Chains A and B, each alone.
Chain A
């Protein structure tokens, strides 16, 4: 019980602090509501990204195994929604900058990392939608999903760290590092690349 409270308190802190810090950014004063919303959708996506590996690994008290997987799927849907809102809001704010980013022709390197992560996220959504077709090749499905997840996580973390935006640097760094560590842990624990006879 104490452990459960500690785990959840840590997660709420790691996720809550960067969101709170971003909400106090002085940059907000010079942005209109759509641009602000687009930024926070990005922050929310980064926060949801921390929950994903923790849910997949069944590390969260009260959300172990099957329940964790179900929430994982739902959280993944929210993640896609947040990224769509992020890009749509930025597009409304400055269409040419977003078009440059989507074409990998942007002067800012962080946008390419973001677009790569977004592409991997959409590919994951497609993979999830087609999961039934993989019923005899679940190991392939898991390797595909995990590979894409690593691209999403690394791309998003680099993207976020290179952006000079509303997020405060230290809380942003802690959140990004947490996402990377949690992902590495679940990939190792679930032995995704290990050969085994049959899926569970």
Chain B
């Protein structure tokens, strides 16, 4: 009896997974093989302070956050996009305004901003990035460093036009 129950449950779970996989796979062909937009990561918006100022560097620097910004679908690089960056660093907590700053992408859609060394906080050495300027859908990223000794971290945005 119990084995019947077990197999029925297994069947239901497996069936559910197949349906879920089919659903999530569906939009991709509809986009005609285009570049899918980046999704907001779990915890990405934690301690976000809207409107971080554009700065040459955050604090004393020594660590580099860099990445690219492209448009969903055709993958075209997006110039002049404002990316906001914050993290727990050697100079302050995530919540503190001086831990926040923003930069703009160049003509190739690349951005890089110097900031203080990121240190492990809440169990992982990680940074936060936001695109929140209105022209495209808002995206919050929370990349994790491979090692706390790293002196750079990258994050890439593919933005969905609104």
Interface status of B148 (Cβ within 8 A of chain A): yes
Interface status of A40 (Cβ within 8 A of chain B): no
Interface status of A111 (Cβ within 8 A of chain B): yes
User: A25: nearest residue on chain B (CB-CB)?
Assistant: B120
Contacts of A163 in B (CB 8 A): 123
Known: A30-B88, A106-B42. A164 touches B95 (CB 8 A): no
64-107 of chain B: CB within 8 A of chain A: 88-90, 93-95
Set B46, B94, B123: member contacting A164, Cβ < 8 A = B123
Set B46, B119, B124, B148: member contacting A94, Cβ < 8 A = B46
User: A110: nearest residue on chain B (CB-CB)?
Assistant: B123
CA distance A108 to B123 in the complex (A): 8
Contacts of B112 in A (CB 8 A): none
Q: How far is the CB of A27 from chain B (nearest CB, A)?
A: 6
Interface status of A165 (Cβ within 8 A of chain B): yes
Interface status of B127 (Cβ within 8 A of chain A): no
Count how many chain B residues have C-beta atoms less than 8 Å from C-beta atoms of the other chain: 22
Known: A107-B41, A107-B142. A164 touches B90 (CB 8 A): no
The number of A-B residue pairs with CB atoms under 8 Å apart is: 54
Q: Annotate B28-52 by CB proximity to A: 1 below 8 A, 0 otherwise.
A: 0000000000000111111100000
Cβ-defined contact, A94 with B123, below 8 A: no
Contacts of A108 in B (CB 8 A): 43, 122-124
24-38 of chain A: CB within 8 A of chain B: 27, 29-32, 35
Q: Annotate A1-41 by CB proximity to B: 1 below 8 A, 0 otherwise.
A: 00000000000000000000000000101111001000000
Q: Annotate B121-144 by CB proximity to A: 1 below 8 A, 0 otherwise.
A: 111110000000000000000100
Cβ-defined contact, A30 with B95, below 8 A: no
Contacts of B89 in A (CB 8 A): 30
User: A93: nearest residue on chain B (CB-CB)?
Assistant: B93
Q: How far is the CB of B24 from chain A (nearest CB, A)?
A: 19
Contacts of B94 in A (CB 8 A): 94
CA distance A2 to B125 in the complex (A): 46
Q: How far is the CB of B89 from chain A (nearest CB, A)?
A: 7
Cβ-defined contact, A32 with B93, below 8 A: yes
Interface status of A78 (Cβ within 8 A of chain B): no
Q: Annotate A81-122 by CB proximity to B: 1 below 8 A, 0 otherwise.
A: 000000000100110110010000111101100000000000
CA distance A106 to B123 in the complex (A): 11
CA distance A35 to B45 in the complex (A): 20
Q: How far is the CB of B18 from chain A (nearest CB, A)?
A: 25
Interface status of A162 (Cβ within 8 A of chain B): yes
Cβ-defined contact, B42 with A94, below 8 A: no
CA distance A164 to B148 in the complex (A): 9
Cβ-defined contact, A100 with B119, below 8 A: no
8 A–B pairs (Cβ distance < 8 Å), ordered by A: A35-B93, A90-B122, A94-B121, A96-B45, A97-B43, A100-B42, A107-B44, A164-B148
The 10 A-B residue pairs with the shortest CB-CB distance, nearest first, are: A107-B42, A96-B46, A163-B123, A107-B43, A164-B120, A97-B122, A30-B119, A108-B123, A30-B90, A100-B43
